Amino acid sequence: MSPFALSHSLFGHIEVICGPMFSGKTEELIRRVKRAQIARQRVQIFKPKIDDRYHEENVVSHSAQSIQAKPINKSTDILEHLYDSTRVVAIDEVQFFDEDVILVVKKLVRRGIRVILAGLDQDYRGIPFGPIPYLMAIADRVDKVQAICTVCGGAATKSFRKILEDEGQVLVGETDIYEARCGNHFEYQIDEELVSLKPKSEPIEETTV
Ligand code: ADP
Ligand code: MG
Protein backbone atom coordinates (compact mmCIF):
# COMPACT_ATOMS: atom_id res chain seq x y z
CA MET A 1 0.00 0.00 0.00
CA SER A 2 1.37 3.43 -0.90
CA PRO A 3 2.08 5.93 1.91
CA PHE A 4 -0.65 8.09 0.43
CA ALA A 5 -3.24 5.33 0.77
CA LEU A 6 -2.09 4.71 4.33
CA SER A 7 -2.53 8.32 5.40
CA HIS A 8 -5.80 8.64 3.47
CA SER A 9 -7.30 5.72 5.38
CA LEU A 10 -7.04 7.74 8.60
CA PHE A 11 -9.95 9.80 7.34
CA GLY A 12 -13.54 8.81 7.81
CA HIS A 13 -16.26 9.55 5.30
CA ILE A 14 -19.65 11.19 4.95
CA GLU A 15 -22.89 9.52 3.85
CA VAL A 16 -26.05 11.55 3.26
CA ILE A 17 -29.50 9.96 3.13
CA CYS A 18 -32.03 12.53 1.93
CA GLY A 19 -35.48 12.83 0.44
CA PRO A 20 -38.98 13.94 1.42
CA MET A 21 -40.95 12.98 4.52
CA PHE A 22 -41.99 9.31 4.75
CA SER A 23 -39.28 8.26 2.26
CA GLY A 24 -37.51 5.91 4.68
CA LYS A 25 -34.56 8.13 5.65
CA THR A 26 -34.77 7.13 9.30
CA GLU A 27 -35.33 3.47 8.41
CA GLU A 28 -32.18 3.54 6.26
CA LEU A 29 -30.20 5.31 8.99
CA ILE A 30 -31.29 2.68 11.53
CA ARG A 31 -30.39 -0.12 9.07
CA ARG A 32 -26.86 1.23 8.59
CA VAL A 33 -26.41 1.79 12.34
CA LYS A 34 -27.52 -1.76 13.14
CA ARG A 35 -25.08 -3.20 10.60
CA ALA A 36 -22.22 -1.18 12.11
CA GLN A 37 -23.21 -2.51 15.54
CA ILE A 38 -23.18 -6.06 14.18
CA ALA A 39 -19.61 -5.32 13.05
CA ARG A 40 -18.94 -4.38 16.71
CA GLN A 41 -18.20 -0.75 15.90
CA ARG A 42 -19.08 1.81 18.53
CA VAL A 43 -21.91 3.98 17.19
CA GLN A 44 -23.32 7.21 18.62
CA ILE A 45 -26.64 8.54 17.35
CA PHE A 46 -27.75 12.14 17.71
CA LYS A 47 -30.88 14.08 16.84
CA PRO A 48 -31.98 17.69 17.34
CA LYS A 49 -34.11 18.30 20.42
CA ILE A 50 -36.65 20.08 18.24
CA ASP A 51 -37.84 16.74 16.83
CA ASP A 52 -39.77 15.17 19.70
CA ARG A 53 -42.59 13.76 17.57
CA TYR A 54 -42.35 10.22 18.90
CA HIS A 55 -39.83 9.85 21.64
CA GLU A 56 -37.45 12.19 23.40
CA GLU A 57 -34.51 9.77 23.56
CA ASN A 58 -35.03 7.57 20.50
CA VAL A 59 -34.89 7.92 16.76
CA VAL A 60 -38.18 6.41 15.56
CA SER A 61 -39.27 5.78 11.96
CA HIS A 62 -42.82 6.07 10.65
CA SER A 63 -42.82 2.28 10.54
CA ALA A 64 -42.11 2.26 14.30
CA GLN A 65 -38.49 1.08 14.07
CA SER A 66 -36.56 2.65 16.87
CA ILE A 67 -33.02 3.14 18.14
CA GLN A 68 -31.63 5.01 21.11
CA ALA A 69 -30.31 8.49 20.37
CA LYS A 70 -28.96 11.51 22.21
CA PRO A 71 -31.12 14.60 21.72
CA ILE A 72 -28.97 17.73 21.46
CA ASN A 73 -29.66 21.45 21.31
CA LYS A 74 -26.84 22.37 18.94
CA SER A 75 -24.57 20.40 16.64
CA THR A 76 -21.38 21.31 18.56
CA ASP A 77 -22.75 19.28 21.50
CA ILE A 78 -21.79 16.20 19.45
CA LEU A 79 -18.08 16.94 19.99
CA GLU A 80 -18.63 17.20 23.76
CA HIS A 81 -20.49 13.89 23.95
CA LEU A 82 -18.13 12.00 21.64
CA TYR A 83 -16.29 8.95 23.01
CA ASP A 84 -12.70 8.29 21.91
CA SER A 85 -13.63 4.81 20.71
CA THR A 86 -16.59 5.91 18.55
CA ARG A 87 -16.22 4.75 14.95
CA VAL A 88 -19.61 5.78 13.55
CA VAL A 89 -21.71 8.89 14.21
CA ALA A 90 -25.28 9.02 12.90
CA ILE A 91 -27.36 12.20 12.92
CA ASP A 92 -31.06 12.17 12.06
CA GLU A 93 -33.07 15.24 10.98
CA VAL A 94 -29.83 17.04 10.21
CA GLN A 95 -31.67 19.80 8.31
CA PHE A 96 -32.71 21.32 11.65
CA PHE A 97 -29.13 22.21 12.60
CA ASP A 98 -27.45 25.44 11.49
CA GLU A 99 -24.28 25.57 9.37
CA ASP A 100 -22.08 24.76 12.41
CA VAL A 101 -22.97 21.14 11.73
CA ILE A 102 -20.77 21.28 8.61
CA LEU A 103 -17.69 22.04 10.71
CA VAL A 104 -18.67 19.37 13.23
CA VAL A 105 -19.00 16.79 10.45
CA LYS A 106 -15.60 17.77 9.00
CA LYS A 107 -14.00 17.39 12.44
CA LEU A 108 -15.55 13.94 12.85
CA VAL A 109 -14.25 12.84 9.46
CA ARG A 110 -10.75 14.08 10.34
CA ARG A 111 -10.92 11.82 13.41
CA GLY A 112 -11.51 8.86 11.12
CA ILE A 113 -15.22 8.58 11.89
CA ARG A 114 -17.87 7.36 9.44
CA VAL A 115 -20.62 9.99 9.53
CA ILE A 116 -24.16 8.99 8.50
CA LEU A 117 -26.53 11.92 8.01
CA ALA A 118 -30.27 11.74 7.33
CA GLY A 119 -32.45 14.72 6.55
CA LEU A 120 -34.93 16.47 4.31
CA ASP A 121 -33.35 17.75 1.11
CA GLN A 122 -36.17 20.26 0.53
CA ASP A 123 -38.62 22.16 2.71
CA TYR A 124 -42.38 22.27 2.07
CA ARG A 125 -41.83 24.83 -0.70
CA GLY A 126 -39.30 22.63 -2.50
CA ILE A 127 -36.42 24.88 -1.38
CA PRO A 128 -33.11 23.22 -0.32
CA PHE A 129 -33.16 22.81 3.45
CA GLY A 130 -30.53 24.35 5.77
CA PRO A 131 -27.06 22.75 5.67
CA ILE A 132 -28.17 19.75 3.56
CA PRO A 133 -27.07 21.08 0.12
CA TYR A 134 -23.54 21.74 1.44
CA LEU A 135 -23.40 18.36 3.16
CA MET A 136 -24.58 16.63 -0.03
CA ALA A 137 -21.79 18.38 -1.93
CA ILE A 138 -19.00 17.31 0.43
CA ALA A 139 -20.40 13.82 1.05
CA ASP A 140 -18.63 10.71 -0.24
CA ARG A 141 -21.97 9.06 -0.84
CA VAL A 142 -25.47 10.50 -1.30
CA ASP A 143 -28.65 8.44 -1.43
CA LYS A 144 -31.88 10.13 -2.40
CA VAL A 145 -34.78 8.03 -1.22
CA GLN A 146 -38.36 8.40 -2.40
CA ALA A 147 -41.74 8.05 -0.73
CA ILE A 148 -45.08 7.12 -2.30
CA CYS A 149 -47.23 9.99 -3.58
CA THR A 150 -50.42 10.11 -1.53
CA VAL A 151 -52.40 11.27 -4.58
CA CYS A 152 -51.29 8.91 -7.39
CA GLY A 153 -49.07 6.26 -5.81
CA GLY A 154 -46.06 7.36 -7.88
CA ALA A 155 -42.57 8.15 -6.62
CA ALA A 156 -42.71 11.11 -4.25
CA THR A 157 -39.80 13.51 -3.92
CA LYS A 158 -41.63 16.40 -2.22
CA SER A 159 -43.06 17.11 1.23
CA PHE A 160 -46.42 18.77 0.84
CA ARG A 161 -47.70 20.91 3.74
CA LYS A 162 -51.45 20.66 4.04
CA ILE A 163 -52.11 23.77 6.11
CA LEU A 164 -52.39 27.20 4.60
CA GLU A 165 -51.07 29.40 7.42
CA ASP A 166 -47.50 30.59 7.02
CA GLU A 167 -45.81 28.88 9.96
CA GLY A 168 -42.26 29.37 8.67
CA GLN A 169 -39.82 26.79 7.33
CA VAL A 170 -39.79 24.65 10.48
CA LEU A 171 -43.12 23.19 11.55
CA VAL A 172 -42.62 19.79 13.11
CA GLY A 173 -45.51 17.49 12.28
CA GLU A 174 -46.79 14.26 10.90
CA THR A 175 -49.50 13.12 8.50
CA ASP A 176 -51.74 15.76 10.09
CA ILE A 177 -49.58 18.43 8.45
CA TYR A 178 -47.51 16.75 5.72
CA GLU A 179 -47.99 14.38 2.80
CA ALA A 180 -45.46 12.87 0.41
CA ARG A 181 -46.17 14.00 -3.15
CA CYS A 182 -44.67 13.54 -6.61
CA GLY A 183 -43.73 16.65 -8.62
CA ASN A 184 -47.06 16.47 -10.47
CA HIS A 185 -49.10 16.62 -7.30
CA PHE A 186 -46.92 19.05 -5.44
CA GLU A 187 -47.87 22.57 -6.14
CA TYR A 188 -46.45 25.59 -4.51
CA GLN A 189 -46.81 29.07 -5.72
CA ILE A 190 -45.42 31.87 -3.67
CA ASP A 191 -47.35 34.89 -4.80
CA GLU A 192 -46.63 37.57 -2.23
CA GLU A 193 -47.61 35.70 0.94
CA LEU A 194 -50.01 33.33 -0.80
CA VAL A 195 -49.12 29.66 -1.01
CA SER A 196 -51.43 27.66 -3.24
CA LEU A 197 -51.94 24.15 -1.92
CA LYS A 198 -54.37 22.86 -4.50
CA PRO A 199 -53.40 19.43 -5.83
CA LYS A 200 -53.42 19.23 -9.62
CA SER A 201 -55.63 16.16 -9.60
CA GLU A 202 -58.56 18.14 -8.20
CA PRO A 203 -61.01 19.41 -10.81
CA ILE A 204 -60.10 22.93 -11.80
CA GLU A 205 -63.03 25.29 -11.84
CA GLU A 206 -63.82 26.51 -15.30
CA THR A 207 -63.78 30.23 -15.62
CA THR A 208 -65.94 32.04 -18.12
CA VAL A 209 -64.40 35.13 -19.63
P1 ADP B 1 -38.55 9.44 6.89
O2 ADP B 1 -37.48 9.37 7.96
O3 ADP B 1 -37.99 9.64 5.51
O4 ADP B 1 -39.63 10.46 7.21
P5 ADP B 1 -39.31 6.85 7.91
O6 ADP B 1 -38.09 6.00 7.80
O7 ADP B 1 -39.60 7.43 9.27
O8 ADP B 1 -39.26 8.02 6.81
O9 ADP B 1 -40.61 6.04 7.49
C10 ADP B 1 -40.74 5.31 6.30
C11 ADP B 1 -41.99 4.47 6.43
O12 ADP B 1 -43.12 5.34 6.43
C13 ADP B 1 -42.28 3.54 5.31
O14 ADP B 1 -41.58 2.30 5.41
C15 ADP B 1 -43.78 3.31 5.45
O16 ADP B 1 -44.05 2.30 6.39
C17 ADP B 1 -44.26 4.63 6.06
N18 ADP B 1 -45.04 5.50 5.17
C19 ADP B 1 -46.11 6.24 5.54
N20 ADP B 1 -46.56 7.00 4.51
C21 ADP B 1 -45.75 6.74 3.45
C22 ADP B 1 -45.66 7.24 2.10
N23 ADP B 1 -46.53 8.15 1.62
N24 ADP B 1 -44.70 6.75 1.30
C25 ADP B 1 -43.83 5.83 1.76
N26 ADP B 1 -43.84 5.33 3.03
C27 ADP B 1 -44.78 5.79 3.87
MG1 MG C 1 -37.10 10.54 9.66
Instruction: Write out pLDDT tens, residues 144-182.
Output: 999 999 999 999 999 998 876 666 777 777 777 899 999
How many Å apart are CA 75 and CA 63, to the nearest integer?
26
Q: Which atom of ligand 1 approaches the CA of 63 most closely?
A: 16
Backbone angles phi, psi at 27, to 5 degrees: -55, -45
Instruction: Write out pLDDT tens, residues 22-81.
Output: 999 999 999 999 999 999 999 999 999 986 666 678 888 888 888 899 999 999 999 999
Residue 168: how many CA atoms within 13 Å on its side-chain side?
Answer: 4
- Residue 27 is among the residues annotated as catalytic for this protein: no
Please name the CATH architecture into which domain 3-145 falls: 3-Layer(aba) Sandwich (3.40)
What is the DSSP-derived secondary structure letter of residue 187? -
Residue type, 170: V
How many Å apart are CA 145 and CA 201, to the nearest integer?
24
The mean per-residue pLDDT over the stretch 183-207 comes to 55
Q: Which is the catalytic residue, given 15, 28, 93, 179?
A: 93
pLDDT for the residue numbered 50: 81
Q: Which atom of ligand 1 approaches the CA of 179 most closely?
A: 23
State the Cα angle at 49 between 46 and 54, rounded to 5°.
90
